[in-house]
Amino acid sequence: MQDRLRLASGMLLAVYVLCHFLNHMLGIVSIELQQSAAKILTLPWNRTILLGVLLAALVIHPLLSMVSLQRRRHLMLPSWQRAQIWLGLLIPPLLSPHLIKALMYTHHFNVDVDYHLVQLTLWIVDLSDGVTQIALFIVTWVHGCIGVWSWAHLKPWYAKWYKSLTAFAWSFPALALAGHVSSGMQIIREVNRNPDLPAEVMLKTGFTMDMIPDVMKMEKISYWVIFAMVLATIMFPMFRHFTLRVRKRGAQLYFADRQKLRINKGATVLEVLQTARIDHPSLCGGLGRCSTCRVRVGKGSDDLQPPSPLEQKVLERIKAPDDVRLACQIRPQEDLKIWPLLTPCVDQPDVFTSIDSRHGQELVVAVLFADLRGFTAFSEKRLPFDVLFVLNRYFRFMGTAIEEEGGRLDKFIGDGIMALFGLDGDPKKGCKNALKAAKAMGRELEKLNGSLADELDEPLRIGIGIHVGNVIVGEMGHGPARQLTAIGDTVNSASRLESLTKEHGAQLVVSQDVTQRAGIDMEDFPLMELNIRGRLDPLPARVVVALNELELE
> Do residues 364 and 323 share a domain?
no
pLDDT at 306: 92
Regarding whether 185 and 126 lie in a shared domain, the answer is yes
Q: Is residue 348 part of a domain?
A: no
- What is the pTM assigned to this prediction? 0.52
Summarize the confidence of residues 266-275 as an average pLDDT. 85
294-297 and 252-255 beta bridge pairing = unpaired
CA distance 238 to 244: 10
What is residue 276's predicted lDDT score, i.e. its pLDDT?
82
What is the structure's pLDDT at 209? 83
- Identify whether residues 208 and 110 lie together within a single domain: yes
* Domain endpoint, select from 340, 372, 403: 340
CATH number for position 290? 3.10.20.30
Q: Give the pLDDT of residue 358.
A: 43
Is 69:233 a contact under the CB 8 Å cutoff?
A: yes
**How far apart are the C-alpha atoms of 28 and 446, rounded to whole Å?**
63
Is residue 458 within 8 A of residue 402, CB to CB? The reply is no
Same domain, 438 and 316: no
Handedness of CA 169, 172, 175, 179 (dihedral sign): negative
Residue 370 has pLDDT above 90, yes or no: yes
What amino acid occupies position 97?
P
Give φ, ψ of 383 to 5 degrees. -70, 150
Is residue 534 domain-resident?
yes
The band of 417, judged by pLDDT with boundaries at 50, 70 and 90, is: very high
Q: Is residue 139 part of a domain?
A: yes
Please report whether residue 347 resides in a domain: no
Do residues 219 and 261 share a domain? no
Domain boundary among 278, 313, 340: 340
pLDDT number for residue 347? 39
Residue 528 parent element (H or E): strand 527-530
Q: What pairs with residue 447 in β-bridges?
A: none
What's the CA gap between 224 and 451, in Å, rounded? 81
CA distance 509 to 105: 73
pLDDT band at 271 (very low <50, low <70, confident <90, very high): confident
Same domain, 331 and 369: no
pLDDT for residue 134 is more than 50: yes
The alpha carbon of residue 514 and the mean position of all alpha carbons in its chain are separated, in whole angstroms, by 26
Distance CA 199, CA 185 (A): 19
Q: Which residues of 379-417 are buried (b: 16+ CB within 10 A; e: fewer)?
A: beeeeeeebeebbeebeebbbebbeebbbbbbeeeebeb
Shared-domain flag, residues 259 and 392? no
Residues 71 and 196 reside in one and the same domain:
yes
The answer to whether residue 138 scores a pLDDT higher than 60 is yes
Average pLDDT of the chain to the nearest whole number: 82
pLDDT of residue 274: 84
pLDDT of residue 185: 92
**pLDDT tens digits, 283-314:** 677 778 777 788 989 989 998 999 988 888 88
Q: Which of 153, 549, 547, 529 is nearest to 368 (CA)?
A: 547
- Beta bridge partner(s), residue 504: none
Cα separations in angstroms, 291 against 487, 504, 526: 13, 35, 35
505, 375: one domain: yes
Interval 196-255: pLDDT, tens: 988 888 888 888 888 888 888 888 888 788 788 777 777 766 666 666 555 555 688 888
Measured on CA atoms in the order 88, 94, 99, 104, is the torsion positive or negative? positive
3-state secondary structure of 330: coil
Which domain range does residue 322 map to? Answer: 252-340
- Which residue type is seen at 281? P
Coil, strand or helix at 39? helix
- For residue 74, the SS3 value is coil
Question: What is the rounded distance in angstroms from the CA atom of residue 438 to the CA atom of residue 436?
Answer: 5
Q: Are 23 and 34 in contact (CB under 8 A)?
A: yes
pLDDT in tens, 493-522: 999 999 999 888 899 999 999 999 999 888
Residue 419: phi, psi to the nearest 5? -135, 155
Residue 359 pLDDT greater than 50, yes or no: no
Look at residue 439 in the predicted model and tell me its pLDDT. Answer: 92
Residue 70 lies in a domain: yes
Which segments of 280-434 are extended strands (E)? 294-297, 324-326, 336-340, 361-373, 408-413, 416-421
Same domain, 327 and 364: no
Assigned domain for 349 exists: no
- Tell me the pLDDT band of 383, cut-offs 50, 70 and 90: low
Q: Is 270 exposed, middle or buried (0-12, 13-18, 19+ CB in 10 A)?
A: buried
Instruction: Kindly state the helix (H) or strand (E) to which residue 4 belongs, with its residue range.
Output: helix 2-25
Q: Which helix (H) or strand (E) holds 134?
A: helix 127-152
Query: What CATH number did the domain enclosing 484 receive?
Result: 3.30.70.1230
Name the domain count of the chain: 3
| Interval 82-106: pLDDT, tens | 888 888 888 888 888 877 887 788 8
Answer yes or no: is 273 within a domain: yes
SS3 at position 203: helix
In angstroms, the CA 315 to CA 308 distance is 10
Q: CA-based Rg of the chain, rounded to a whole angstrom?
A: 31
Residues 430 and 511 in one domain: yes
User: Of the ranges 142-156, 171-185, 202-216, 469-483, which one carries the lowest mean pLDDT score?
Assistant: 469-483
Q: DSSP string spanning 255-287? A: ETTTEEEE--TT--HHHHHHHTT-----TTSSS
Q: Name the β-bridge partners of 464.
A: 370, 508
Q: Which CA distances in Å does 541 have to 253, 526, 548? A: 42, 8, 18
pLDDT band at 356 (very low <50, low <70, confident <90, very high): very low
Contact 161, 168 (CB under 8 A): no
How large is the angle between the packed helices 2-25 and 48-71, nearest 10 degrees? Answer: 130
Query: 297: which strand partners?
Result: 338
Q: According to DSSP H, which parts of 276-410 are helical?
A: 309-317, 375-380, 384-404
On the question of pLDDT at 345 being above 60, the answer is: no
DSSP annotation of 307 reads P
Sheet containing strand 252-255, edge to edge, reads: 259-262, 252-255, 336-340, 294-297, 324-326
Asked if pLDDT for residue 534 goes beyond 70, the answer is no
Answer with the one of 193, 222, 243 that is the final residue of a domain.
Answer: 243
| Residue 137 identity (one-letter amino acid) | F
The answer to whether residues 193 and 84 belong to one domain is yes
Residues in CB range of 255: below 8 A, 6 or more apart:
261, 273, 278, 338, 340
345 falls within a domain:
no
Name the pLDDT band for 163 (thresholds 50, 70, 90). Answer: confident
pLDDT at residue 353, rounded to an integer? 38
Going by their DSSP bridges, the two strands 508-511 and 336-340 should be labelled as: unpaired
Strands 408-413 and 416-421: antiparallel
- Cis check for the bond before 349: say yes or no (omega within 30 of 0): yes
